[in-house]
Amino acid sequence: MTTPAKRATVYLDPDLHEALKLKAVESSRTVSDLINAAVREALSDDAEDLAAFNERADEALISYDEMITRLKSDGRI
């Protein structure tokens, strides 16, 4: 059994709301579906970023100057 959806009041820019309504009609989805998908994707991206940060947490920090020096020596800049 699925959990019932929660209601929330969200204030959207009028142009954004209009674009969402048009997208909903074109894609045969509801505005709520589109917003849920966008929020889910944004949270997923954040989770991926946090996981990457956690994987590199034990790496030694380097200064900006050292990074520029490395990039120059590698021919990247």
Q: Does 5 reside within a domain?
A: no
**What sign has the CA pseudo-torsion 2, 44, 26, 24?**
positive
Owning domain of residue 59: 14-73
40's tokens: 């889910």
pLDDT value of residue 47: 86
Q: Does 48 reside within a domain?
A: yes
Q: Does 31 reside within a domain?
A: yes
Q: Does 18 reside within a domain?
A: yes
pLDDT value of residue 30: 96
As for how many domains the chain has, the answer is 1
pLDDT value of residue 1: 61
Per-10-residue mean pLDDT of the chain, 77 residues long, equals 86 97 97 95 89 87 94 94
What is the distance between the alpha carbons of residues 74 and 43, in angstroms, rounded to a whole number? 35
